[in-house]
Amino acid sequence: MIKFKLSSHFKRTIFALAIILTSFSSIYAQSAAKKYIKAHSMQAMELMQQTGVPASVILGVAMVESSLGRSKNSKVLNNHFGIIGKNDLAEKEGYQSRFRKFSSAEASFENFVKVVTSKSFYADLKGSLDFKKWLLSLNKAGYCATQGNIWLRDINFFINRYSLSNFDKFAKWQKYESDFFTILNH
């Protein structure tokens, strides 16, 4: 057996490279998250105004389920929420998937709020900005197939890290402003 002794300079260099690579990876993830938020926040706020489902919940679930829009399901099927259903991939591409295909990412977002608004907890939470209650209710309703605590932790991370609850406040304010001006103009 041959033994190699690494110099302390070599060890420090490897350690520094590892830190640099980790930093680049973190910067790339932040950039991907910000791009995803920019691409989908307006629709999330519009859906919140229409349905009362917080934009933070819509964005947080989408970010986790689609891996910031980088998952195969989000790219090939436009499925940003891990929604199970039919697709035509087996015939067209020889790839089988149990996930539903959508015509666009927007259609996936619309379907997600449709699913949420059909749940029994919806009436009690409609209009609430407490994203934690929404996530717990989704989890209890069996929305996520992975271990619930991991799913909740990941979504909470994105909501808190990127201040997604600010979209809830802004969307609610926009709705009140719009309602106010509608009343004034009649």
Q: Which two tokens stand for residue 49?
A: 């105004």
Averaged pLDDT of the chain: 84
Confidence of residue 4 (pLDDT cuts 50, 70, 90): low
Beta partners for residue 62, in sequence order: none
What does the alpha-carbon distance between residue 161 and residue 180 come to, in Å, rounded to a whole number?
Answer: 32
What domains can you pick out in the chain, each with its CATH number?
Answer: 39-176 (1.10.530.10)
Residue 74 CB coordination number (10 Å): 23
Instruction: Give pLDDT tens digits for 25-46.
Output: 444 456 899 999 999 999 999 9
Cα–Cα dist 148/155, whole Å: 11
Amino acid 19: pLDDT: 57
177 pLDDT above the threshold of 80: no
pLDDT in tens, 34-90: 999 999 999 999 999 999 999 999 999 999 999 999 999 999 999 999 999 988 877
Three-state SS at 82: coil
Would you state the pLDDT for residue 171? Answer: 81
Confidence of residue 143 (pLDDT cuts 50, 70, 90): confident
